[in-house]
Structure 1
Amino acid sequence: MFQWKNLFKGMAMGISDLVPGVSGGTIALILGIYQSLITAINGLTTKQWKKHVMFLIPLVIGIGLALLTVSHIISWLLNEYPQPTLFFFIGLIIGIVPTLLKDINFIQSFTPIHYGVLLLGAIIVGATTLLKDSSPTTIMDQLAIGDYILLFFAGWLASTAMILPGVSGSFIFLLLGVYPTVIQALSTFNLAVLFTVGIGIILGLGITSRLISYLFVQYKTATYALMIGFIAGSVFVIYPGMAGDFFLISLSVIAFALGGGTAYMLHIYKNKQAGANG
């Protein structure tokens, strides 16, 4: 079913993918549409593909609108006020983790193994901070076969990150050193690069979504624990440190509180939607 409210959810997902460490999958999980999203992606190859396309269309439109419009605001905030902006997202992430734990009724459903899985997920995502290359990455030109293979797998891994909560696809591009090349390809409409990355993304989405569906059916609690760990670990990825004068620090604290408040409002919205559907 086509739902216009999913357009705004898609915009939220698109905005989140602009920030390294915050993925569209995280926002989808927060908004309560994560499993529906995975089901819709898997359903594109079934006889009921029309129903799933109708679910995905407003999300895709929303993501596109965010990238074309709101992205300018986010980019400006990240350039002019990076510390408060990132603290807003940190507040959002920390504020939503208790809600996700409550959703899975962790007090009764979690065993020591699940806590270990959660910790492992946090360590995996948090450890990506050690992989950052502080030196500038040059744009690839005169691409060889090996470069195209790298771009293909970069698209594959980035699409996996887009689905899995915790790490953004743009962050994967940065880690693999292909971000400037992909951005230039978008601006110059380099079909060879865009086609290579695009094929990787499409295949990655198809395969990863099926794997996640299987894990949710067979190991729901463990999968939820791992994803919560991914989300918690992303705090270490985007943490900018606390520096500056009194005004900047105060602004960061306020932004953090606003992020937490936003998480609370999203929790209320999610519960109302669940009550209306129930």
Structure 2
Amino acid sequence: MWEWKNIYRGMIMGASDVIPGVSGGTIAVMLGIYDRLIAAINGIFSKEWKTHLRFLIPLGIGVVTSILVLAKLIEWLFEHYPAPTQFLFMGLIIGIIPYLAQKSEMKTNFKPYHYILLLIGAVIVASMVFFKSEETAVIQDITTGTYVLLFFSGFIASAAMILPGISGSFILLIIGVYSTVISSISNFQLDVIFVVGVGILIGIVVMSKLIKFFLENYSSATYALIIGLVVGSIVVIFPGIPESAALIIASVLTFLVGLFFARVLGRIEYS
């Protein structure tokens, strides 16, 4: 049976992946489909590949649609209203943490070393805030070397993207190709989109196999680390106190909207 409701889930994930600092993996956790997503990606090469594709294809449609349709809007919002936009995602992430703790059965399953893992995960992601990287100009002269760079950038970013708390877009920003990738999406530059896309797909498959192993064999420890990564991402996303009163009010409102939607999504996805 096709899981068409994954289209809206994919659209939320796609919108988040455009913003540096917001992780598609975090959104998948927020939506309650992270472990299923990992299992489905790994299951493509199994006998039940049709079942997994019925899960992944609607999700992929949502992600691609969102990126293509919302790339310009998200790019504009992030450029002109970064604080309210980031506070919206902060609200979403903070609001979903109680549901994530409930799903992992933190109160009954977590031992002291699980909380240490949680802290380690939070510190690892939070420390990314110190990686200052100025956005570079769009690469105009595309050569073979550029394609190689874009392929491995997609591979590395997607490997990070599937981990909660680590933003694939932020990795692209650090590497220096974020502007080039976003511009290619906005302007339908198919050669760049194809090369980066192939790198992303291969990276997701490779990383998902590693995550699947840990989810199956060290479930509580993996969830502890995941919660830590999610908590740490709040530090990365936090843009600081807005400069004007109007922006402060707007940021508070978007933060509350994020909390509200997190509560709604939590009830739908984790019930």
Q: Would you call these one fold, judging by a TM-score over 0.5?
A: yes
More divergent stretch after superposition (243-252 vs 69-78)? 69-78
- Is 1:40 the counterpart of 2:57 in the alignment? no
Tell me which amino acid in the other structure corresponds to 1:62: G
Given that residues 22 and 165 in structure 1 are in contact (C-alpha distance below 8 angstroms), is that contact kept between their aligned partners in structure 2?
A: no
2:15 aligns with 15
Task: Report 1:74-223 matches (<5 A).
Answer: 74-134=74-134, 136-137=136-137, 139=139, 141=141, 143=143, 145=145, 148-186=147-185, 187=187, 189=189, 191=191, 193-223=192-222
Instruction: Render the CA deviation track for 1:40-83: whole Å, top value 9, x for unaligned.
Output: 11111122212211111111111122112234443333233221
Aligned pair count reads 270
Q: Secondary structure at the match of 1:91?
A: helix
Partner of 2:60: 60
Change (3 A) 1:265 1:142: closer
In terms of mean alpha carbon deviation, does 27-36 or 131-140 score higher? 131-140
Per-residue CA deviations over 1:122-163 (Å, capped at 9, x if unaligned) read: 111111121121363552736464x55543332111111221
Compute the TM-score of the two structures, normalised by the length of structure 1.
Answer: 0.88
State the alpha-carbon separation in 1 of the partners of residues 188 and 62 from structure 2.
23
1:35/1:58 CA distance change after superposition, 3 Å: same
Q: Distance in 2 between matches of 1:142 and 1:246?
A: 44
- Cα distance in structure 1, aligned partners of 2:140 and 2:179: 8
CA distance in 2, matches of 1:18, 1:194: 14
Match of 1:276 in 2: none
Give the 3 Å change call, closer, same or farther, for CA 89–185 of structure 1 in structure 2. closer
User: How far off its partner does 1:202 sit?
Assistant: 2.4
Matched, 1:254 2:240: no
CA–CA distance in structure 1, aligned partners of residues 261 and 193 of structure 2? 35
Partner SS for 1:181: helix
Once the 2 structures are TM-superposed, how far is the Cα of residue 188 of structure 1 from its aligned partner? 6.2
For the residue of structure 1 that corresponds to 2:133, the secondary structure is coil
Alignment of 1:21-32 (within 5 A): 21-32=21-32
Call closer, same or farther: CA 1:140–1:48 in 2, change over 3 Å: same
**How far off its partner does 1:9 sit?**
0.8
**Measured at CA, do residues 103 and 61 of structure 1 come closer, stay the same or move farther in structure 2, by a change above 3 Å?**
same
Q: Counterpart of 1:263?
A: 262
Q: Any gaps of 5 or more consecutive residues in structure 1?
A: 273-278
Distance between the aligned counterparts of 2:216 and 2:75, measured in 1?
38
Q: Flag as ranges the 4+ runs of structure 1 deviating above 6 A.
A: none
